[in-house]
Amino acid sequence: MSNFSHSMSTSKPTNRDIRRNNILQLTLGLIIIILLNVIGSFIFTRFDLTTEKRYSLSPSTKKLLRETDDIFYFRVYLDGEFPASFKKLSRSTRELLDEFRAYNDNIQYEFINPSEAPDAKTRNEILSRLEQQGLLPTDLNVRTKQGQQQQRIYPGAIVSHKGREMPLNLLAEQMGAPPDLIINNSIQALEYNISNAIRKLGTTSKPAIAFTEGHGELSRLETADISTALSDYYKVERVKLDGKVNALTERRENEDGTYTIVNKYKAIIVAKPDSVFSEKDKFIIDQYIMRGGRVLWLIDPVFASMDSVQAADRTMGITHDVNLNDQLFRYGVRLNSNLILDLNSLPIPLYTGQIGNQPQFEFFPWYYFPVLTSTSNHPVVNNLNAVRTEFISSIDTVGNPSVRKTVLLKTSRYTRVANTPVMISLDILRREPDPADYTHAPQPVAVLLEGKFESLFTNRIPDEIVKAPEIGFTANSPETRMIVFSDGDLIKNQVQFTSGTYRPYPLGFDRFTGQTFGNRELMLNAVNYLCDDTGLMAVRSRELKLRALDVTRARENLLLWQIINTAGPVLLIILLGFIQFMIRKFRYAR
C-alpha cells in the first residue's frame, strides 16, 4: 500500500515540469506562428465570408492579372487628413491594390499627399498639374484645431505603363446621392476601374468600331469627345454606307480557295440620323448583324428643335421616320412617336428682363429634357451618374421570343406622355405644373437586345441576290447584341466657339448649368458591353450593400451602446480569465 502511495506521489507533476511544459507550448506556438507568416509571404490566400464576396477578385480580373507581364505603377493621391468616409475609400483602394499585387508583382503603387508641400506656390503647382492630367478635384470641409477649413483633394490616381500615363478618378459622381452612398458606390467600382485602367494601358492591338455616315448622322465635331474616349479601347473610324455592300464586311480567302464574308468592325454606332435610309443601306446593316455584328442605335422618333423654340417661343414636335422602324421592330423594339415630359428635368436659362445694360436670366426646369437616374444593376448603367436627354421618346419591346430584352433606363414616376404632333412652347415654364398631368408610369427609353436575330430581308429579296456569292445572304444571326436609345443627343457633345475655333465640350457637360452628367460613362459602358469578350463588364454588376447604422435608433439608446462598447470588452476578458483560472485549478488541484 505504501509503495502504491509512493508511486502516486511521484507521478504528480512538479512546478518545474509545469514550467517546462508551458515553455515548450509557448515555443511551439511561436514556431507555428513564424512558419505560418513565412508560408503566407509566399502563398496568398484570403477567406471571404461576406455574402456578396466583397473581398474576392472576379475571375475576369484574375485572368487579366495573369496576362500582365510588365509594371503598372499607381500614384494614388489619397494620403493625408481626410474625413472618415474618404479614409475608408483610401483604405479600400490600398487593400485592393495589395490584393492585385498578391496575384501579380507587376502591380506597384505609392500613396501621395499632394497638399504636403511646405509652400503654397509648390502646392498650387502640384494641384494644377493634377488637374491638367485629368484628375477631378473635390472640395471638403475638414474639422481642424482652428475650426472648419475647406480642403481640395484629388481622389484619384495617375497610372503609368511603358511610358504612357492615364488618370484614374476613384470617386463616383452621382447627383443627389448622399455622401455615404457615393463612397460605397466608389468602393464598389474600384475593382472595375483599376482593372479597366490596366486593360486600357496594356492593350496593344485594338478592335475597330465605326460611326456610320451618309444619313445626316452627328458630325465628327459633335461626337469628338466620345470618339476620343473610345479610342482608348478601339480604333475608331467613320464609314459611309452609300449602298456599298462591302462597307461593313470584307471577303477573306480560305485555305481551299473559297471565300468567307466577315465583319470589318466589332460594333457600329448609328448616331442621330436625320434622313431616310435606303433599303440597300438597311440591308447592309442587317447582314452585318446577321454575321454577329453589334449595333448602338441612337434614333430620334420625333423631330423637335430647341433652336426653333428659342427663336419663336414655340415649335411643333412631329414624327420623324428615317425608315428604320420596320427593321428595329423585327429585332424586338418599337420607337413610339411621342415626347416624354418629366418633372425630373434639366433647367434651362430663360430671359426675364434687363437691369441696366445687362440681360437677366433665370433657370427653369424644361420638362422636355428629362434627367434620367438609373435604378438597374445592369453593368451598363450600374452606379451611373444622372443622364441628360433632349426631346426623348418611349420604347416598347415587341415579339421575337428568341431575343432577350432588358430595359436599361426609364423616366421617373412623374412622367407625362405627349403624342405627336405636339406643340412645344416656353409658356409651360411660366406656370406651375399640375401633378395630376404627370402620373404616367415610368417610360422605357433605352433597351438592350441580346440573342439570335432574324433578318428583315428573309423572303423579301430575289433569289439571284440571295444566292450571289458576293452577297452571302444570311437569314439568322449567331448570338449577338444591340442597344437602342430613343434620343440621338445622348452621344452629342456641346460645342463652344472661341477665337475663331470650334471646340467640343466633354460629353455630358451642360454649358448652361455647369453640371457634368453621366452621358460619357453611359456611352462608354454601352460600347464596352457590346464589344466585351473578356467579362470585365461583369465586374460592374457586383453590389456591395451599404450597411449603415440606424442613426435614430442609435441616438435613442446612446447610453446603452456606450456601456456595451466600453464595459463589454473588459467584462469579456475578466470572464475568460476566470474560466481559465477554474480550468487550471481543476487540472492541478489533485
- Which CATH entry fits the domain spanning 59-200: 3.30.70, 3.40.30, 2.60.40, 1.10.3470? 3.40.30
Helix ranges (H only) for 189-302 are: 190-202, 224-230, 279-290
Which tens digits make up the pLDDT trace of 156-209?
899 999 888 889 988 877 666 677 777 887 888 888 889 888 888 887 788 999
What percent of the chain has a predicted confidence (pLDDT) above 70?
87
Higher pLDDT, 361 or 110: 110
Query: Which of 236, 235, 196 lies closest to 100 in space, CA to CA?
Result: 196
Query: Model-level pTM?
Result: 0.76
* Cell 490596366 sits on residue: 198
Lowest mean pLDDT among 152-161, 464-473, 484-493: 464-473
Taking 3-state DSSP, the helix, strand and coil percentages for the chain, each rounded to the nearest 5, stand at 35, 25, 40
Inform me whether the pLDDT recorded for 351 exceeds 90.
Answer: no
Greater model confidence, 340 or 35: 340
With bands split at pLDDT 50, 70 and 90, how would you rate the model's confidence at 299?
very high
Q: What is the mean pLDDT of residues 457-467?
A: 77
Residues 411 and 375 sit within 8 Å (Cβ to Cβ): no
Residue 264: its pLDDT value, please? 94
Task: Report the pLDDT averaged over residues 537-565.
Answer: 65
- Look up residue 27 and give its three cell numbers: 515555443
Range of lowest pLDDT (219-233, 420-434, 456-470): 456-470
Sequence-distant (≥ 6) Cβ neighbours of residue 413 within 8 angstroms: 441, 442
Residue for grid cell 496594356: 202
In percent, the amount of the chain with pLDDT more than 90 equals: 40
> Three-class SS string for 313-332?
CEEEEEECCCCCHHHHHHHC
Radius of gyration from C-alpha coordinates of the chain: 32
Rounded Cα distance between 343 and 371, Å, is 9
- pLDDT of res. 52: 53
